[in-house]
Amino acid sequence: MFKKLSLLFACAAIAVLSSCSSKMGAMKPEYFTVTPAVLEVVGSEVPVTIDGKFPAKVFNKKSVLTVIPVLKYEGGEALAEPVVFQGEKVRGNDRVISYDNGGSFKTKMTFDYVPAMEDAELYLRFVVNKGSKTYNLPDVKVADGCIATSQLYRQTAASANIAIGEDAFQRVIKQAKEANIMFLIQQTNLRASQITTEEMEELKAAMADIAKDFENKVIDEVEVSAYASPDGGVALNDNIATGRELNTAKFVKQEMKKAKLDGYVDSKYTAEDWEGFQELISKSELPDKELILRVLSMYDDPEEREAQIKNISSIYSEIADEVLPKLRRARITLNYQLIGRSDEQIQEQYAADPKVLSLEEILYSSILTEDAEEQREIFNTAIKLHPTDYRAYNNLGVMAYNAGDYNTAASYFQKALAANSSAPEVQLNLGYLELLQGNVSDAEALMALGAEAKAGDEALGNLYIAQGEYGRAAALLDGKATNSAALAQLLNKDYSTARQTIDEIAEPDATTHYIKALLGARTSNIAYVYDGLKAAIKLDPSMAKKAAGDLEFTKYLQDATFQSILK
């Protein structure tokens, strides 16, 4: 009887143990490898690759295992797409894992980044289904996260050279006044009717005006270009063109003397004006003009050209009447410069009465002072006198942006946009404001509209950083000594170029020095880490807290000097 009871208890114990062992055991961290080992933000996402290996004798034959990647951070967690596996005796369509041999898998995922993820941990959550029963295995931590260096694009955008509405002021403006003298066939003499035409009288008046207003107008030279039409033979036309040049130059010098204008007369002649002939034929309505143009392209010898064209008897008379007379000419070009106000004169006139100045001169005067209040006053004056021009509004917005007053900047940019809805500088700057808020898609749309602005490359470089396109950003910002370029090069792992860029930045700020410290951490240059952080924290004490939680500096957290810098 006793033996029977003992046997009964033994069978019951075996049954209990068998029942317990049928449950799947806890997973271990060494079953899983995460790439990257420390998670990193790329663009607005955290990409993760998990390689897993279930050892033999681990996966229950009758169970279904759902693996859920979970990124845990303060205040929340983010779940990625689950991966499902099943044992050999489960009927289903999921990946089968052998009990005897185990199995491996690879899965990729992305988490949408939020700033709180800077201090996050990646876990795997396991849910087991066996028949009608469901239970959880303990979560397993597999990685830390996140390195968020790419998110410094907001700081580099804040210190970027955003788009100024530039003035179009030119102190020296080149001018040209032109008149033509027409000649009769094979004649070189200047007829009275040709030296008293309306355009000739305007040319004479311009000479006199330059002579009188010598402080504001300066002559460069007078060009005389004389021509003969390409008919009648090369030797004859050479003599004709030479005579026309000499007589016209003599006339010009006489007129300059009358006007009391000193200057150089540069004269030249063209014996046979085939270029002018081709141009007139091209613009004409002659029925066989394509045939004539083909002759010009086929023959280089002038006499052969003339003979072939004369063979086109049907239209040669029209050429002789309508085209050739226009080529018997001399062109006189008076080249001179308009000299605008000097910097001192502009400043003096602005102080006396800005209404006398042009809009371009007013806008230009803003670069003649480094005083911010004076610049604001100048832009406000420009708005008062020229309210429909967008540039002063835009530039007041730029000043507010650079001062960190983004609401005021947005207000001015909207006023600039109302004045000119297609101004590329304004679109670009509004894109920067969106980028500062992390609205990358909106920033992209606006910056595309502002791509023609001079500051477009730096803006797009910051946009590419925000999108995780580090190579494109580095290429676009190459050669620019800015925080944006240094960050792009750092993220693109071009550390030698990043170091050179940092060293060349004319006015380094806290962001510059922080990027320098990050470069030091990535290249194991501890002096760069120390120097960068000291300078960054001196300019912006909040950088100490940022560095304390930045996983780029993990290996220095226990370093006494590092800790002292952060205090």
Identify the pLDDT of residue 313: 60
How many domains, the chain?
2
Which residues does residue 96 pair with via DSSP β-bridges, in sequence order? 86
How far is 488 from 465, CA to CA, in rounded Å?
A: 6
Q: Is residue 376 part of a domain?
A: no
Of 339, 372, 391, the position where a domain reaches its end is 339
Question: Are residues 44 and 125 part of one domain?
Answer: yes
246: how many CB neighbours lie within 10 A of its CB?
15
| 330 and 264 within one domain | yes
Q: Is residue 123 included in any domain, yes or no?
A: yes
3-state class of 91 per DSSP? Answer: coil
Domain with residue 261: its CATH number is 3.30.1330.60
Is residue 48 within 8 Å of 34, Cβ to Cβ? yes
Domain that residue 207 falls in: 172-339
From 398, 386, 388, select the one nearest 425 (Cα to Cα). 398
Asked if residue 335 and residue 224 are part of one domain, the reply reads yes
Cα–Cα distance, 199 to 238 (Å, whole number)? 27
Residue 418, Ramachandran bin (φ over 0: left; ψ between -120 and 50: alpha; else beta) = alpha
DSSP secondary-structure letter at 410? H
Same-domain pairing of 245 and 200? yes
Tell me whether residue 373 is in a domain: no
* Regions of the chain with pLDDT less than 70: 1-22, 313
Q: Which of 339, 373, 400 is the last residue of a domain?
A: 339
Confidence (pLDDT) at 252: 97
* Domain presence at residue 237: yes
Residue ending a domain, choose from 339, 373, 402: 339
Looking at the fold, whether 126 and 217 belong to one and the same domain comes out as no
Same domain, 191 and 127: no
Cα(154)–Cα(442) distance, integer angstroms = 15
The answer on 225 and 297 residing in a single domain is: yes
Within a domain: residue 470? no
Q: Let me know whether 67 and 197 are in one domain.
A: no
Q: Are residues 125 and 186 in the same domain?
A: no
Same domain, 193 and 117: no
Q: Per residue in 270-318, pLDDT tens?
A: 999 999 999 999 999 888 888 888 888 888 888 888 888 888 767 788 8
Q: What is the pLDDT of residue 298?
A: 87
The whole-angstrom separation of Cα 324 and Cα 321 is 7
What pLDDT does 172 receive? 94
> Which stretch of DSSP H or E encloses residue 212?
helix 198-212
State the pLDDT at residue 5. 39
Residue 243 belongs to a domain: yes
As a whole number of angstroms, the distance between CA 143 and CA 49 comes to 11
Closest CA to 123 of 164, 79, 177, 69: 69
Domain-embedded: residue 377 = no
CATH number for position 77: 2.60.40
275 in the same domain as 127: no
d(CA 191, CA 548): 91
| pLDDT at residue 1, rounded to an integer | 43
Does 97 reside within a domain? Answer: yes
How far apart CA 67 and CA 79 sit, in angstroms, is: 11
Residue of 281, 332, 274 lying closest to 306 (CA atoms): 274
Per-residue pLDDT, 16: 40
Instruction: Note whether 134 and 180 are same-domain residues.
Output: no
